[in-house]
Structure 1
Amino acid sequence: MFYEPLGGGRYQSTVHTTGPWSKLTQHLGPPSALMVREMEKLPAPVPMMIARVTVEILGPVPVAELSVSAAVDRPGRSVELLSAELSADGRVVARARAWRIVRSDTSAVAVDVDERLPPPSAGRVMTRPDSWGAGYLDVIEWRSLAGSLAESGPATVWGRQTVPLVGDEEPSGLQRLLTIADSGNGVSGRLDPREWLFINADLTVHVYREPVGEWIALDAVTAIGPEGIGAATSVLHDLTGPVGRGAQALLVRPQG
C-alpha cells in the first residue's frame, strides 16, 4: 500500500511513495490521489463527476505521517468547487481544487479527439533506470509503446499500480489516474536526471470520462524554455480509449 490509514484523516506513508529525487520525499502521484480520494468522499446533492483537478505543490512531501482534509468551497446543483489540503507535521505541503459537475446523458454526441492506443501487451517492459530513486517507480508496472524513463524525449507508456492507495481498499478510477498522471514529466524528460532537475510545481488533470480498469496510459511530451521553465503535457488513456489530459509546470535547472 502507499498509505496506512491511522484514523481521523491521518495516514502513514510507506516506502512505496518515495520519489525519484530523494529517499526522504514522495513522488506526487500518491499524494495527489490521496487528496482526490478525500474529495470523492464529499457528499453531492445529485450524481456528479470530478471534471478537473489542480494540485499545487507547496513544498516537498515527506515520507512520513500525513493529514488530509477536504471541503466543498462552492456548493451547487450543477457545478461545485471542491478543495483538499495535505499537511505534514503541521505544515501544509499541497493543496488541490476540483470542479465537480452534474452527470447527464451525452452518449449520443460523445466525441474522442485522440486516437486509441495499442494495449499494454503491445509494449515492452519498462524498468527503473539506476539514475532514478527506488520506491514509487518500482510498484508501478510499466509497459512502453514508445520512449521510456531511460530515453530522452516524448514517450507513450502504460502504467498499472500494483499496490492499493490506502490499506487494502480498491482505488477508484480517478485515484488511479492521478497516481499515474504526475509521471508525465518523468517519462517524457529530455534531460539526464543525474545532471538536471526538472521538477513540477503543479499538476492539472482534465477528465471527460471516468477511467475504468487498472491500466492508465500517458502519451507525454515535455517542452523546455530558455529561462529555466518547462511544461509537460499528456493525453491520458484507459484501455477503452482517451479519458482526458494532464499538464505540469516545470522548474528546470542544473543539479548541485
Structure 2
Amino acid sequence: MPADDSTDKPVSYYRDLGDGRWESTRAVQGAWNEHEQHMAPVTGLLTRALLRHEARPGLRLARIGCEILGLIPAGEFTIETTTVRPGRTIELVQAEMIANGRPVVRATGWRLATTDSTPVTGLTVDPLPGPDQAEPYPMTEKWGGGFIESLTGRVLPDHQPGRGRVWLTTDLPLVEGEKTGALEHLMGMADAANGVATRVHPAGGWIFPNVDLQLHLLREPVGAWLGLDVSVDFGPDGVGITSTVLHDEIGPFGRSLQILTLREMPGTQQPTP
C-alpha cells in the first residue's frame, strides 16, 4: 500500500496513473489478507473498463463474468481490454487485471442489443424493503480490511447464517477525481455478498473464499444503494455456492453467483456466526 494511506483516510478506491496503469488505496484492502485487494472494488474497476472499451450505442452489458486467477496484490497494476467476439447485436469484451507480470483477474462482458420489451416484462421476485426500513449492520464486527470499513450496511429482519437481506453503500468514488456511474458503483460492492450471511464465522475453523463472480443484469441499475438477498449453501465435499438477487431502490435488477472453496483450518475454534 502507498505510505500515505496508512495514516490518511483514502479519498477513493483507486488512482489512475495513466497509460493503463493503476494504483489501489487502503480502501480496497481485502478481508482474508491485509496485502491483497478485495474482489468487490476490483469488479467495479473492471466493469468501468468493459463499459469504456469501444462503447457502442444500443448495446449494454448484460452479463459480467469474473475469474479470480490468484491472490490480487495491493499496489500498482495494469488493465488490458480487448474485443473477444465483435458483433452487431451481440458482443463479447474482456478486461484483464495484470499485477507483477501475471493476470490476476479476468472479466468478460456480454453486450446485448437493447429493444423495447415492456409488453412482456415480468418479474418473479418482489422488491426488498428499502434501506430506510433496515437496521444498521456493522460488518466490521465480523470482517476486517479497508474495503469493509468503507461500507455502510443496513440489515433487514430474519437475518441468519446462510440467509440474509442486506443493503450496502459507500461514499467513496471508484476512481480519484471522477464521478462513479451507478453500474460501476453497485458492481463495486456485489462481491461482498459472500460475507453478509455467512454459514460459519470467518474467524472460526473454516474459510470459504470465492474463486469467481458471475453477474447477470436484467436491466440497468440506478442509485447508490445495493440490496443483496443472499442464500449460502455448503456441499459435502468442500464446495459451496453463494446465490444472490441484486436490488436497487426500484427493485430487483439481476442475480449473482459465486463458487466457494470450503476449507477447514486446523487449530481453530468456531465462534457463533
Query: Which one of 10, 18, 32 corresponds to residue 43 of structure 2?
Result: 32
1:239 paired with 2:249, answer yes
Which shows bigger deviation, 202-211 or 98-107?
98-107
Structure 1 distance, partners of 2:243, 2:186, is 14
SS at match of 2:188: helix
Could you say what the CA RMSD is over the residues aligned between the two structures, in angstroms?
A: 1.4
Contact preservation (8 Å) 1:221, 1:233:
yes
Q: Do the aligned residues in 2 keep the contact of 1:2 with 1:163 (CA within 8 Å)?
A: yes
Deviations 1:68-109 (A, max 9, x none): 111111111100001110011111101011100011111222
Please list every run of 5 or more consecutive structure 2 residues that lacks an aligned counterpart in the other structure. 1-11, 267-273
SS of structure 1 residue aligned to 2:156: strand
Distance apart, 1:52 and its partner CA: 0.3
1:133 corresponds, among 125, 135, 144, to 144
Tell me by how many angstroms 1:43 deviates.
2.1
What is the TM-score normalised by the length of structure 2?
A: 0.89
Q: Which structure carries more strand by proportion?
A: 1
Matched, 1:17 2:28: yes
Give the Cα separation in 1 of the matches to 2:219 and 2:84: 23
Give the CA deviation at 1:45. 4.2
- Give the residue type in structure 2 aligned to 1:110: T
Provide the C-alpha distance between the structure 2 equivalents of 1:147 and 1:49, rounded to a whole number of angstroms: 36
How far did 1:147 drift? 5.9
**Aligned with 1:170: secondary structure?**
coil
- Counterparts in 2 of 1:100-179, with a 5 A limit? 100-146=111-157, 152-179=161-188
Between the aligned partners of 1:106 and 1:126, the Cα distance in structure 2 is: 37
Is it true that 1:89 corresponds to 2:100 in the alignment?
yes
**Percent sequence identity over matched residues?**
37
Alignment partner, residue 16 of structure 2: 5
Show structure 1 runs of 4+ deviating over 6 A: none
**3-state SS, counterpart of residue 202 of structure 2:** coil
Matched positions, count: 254
CA distance in 2, matches of 1:229, 1:147: 26
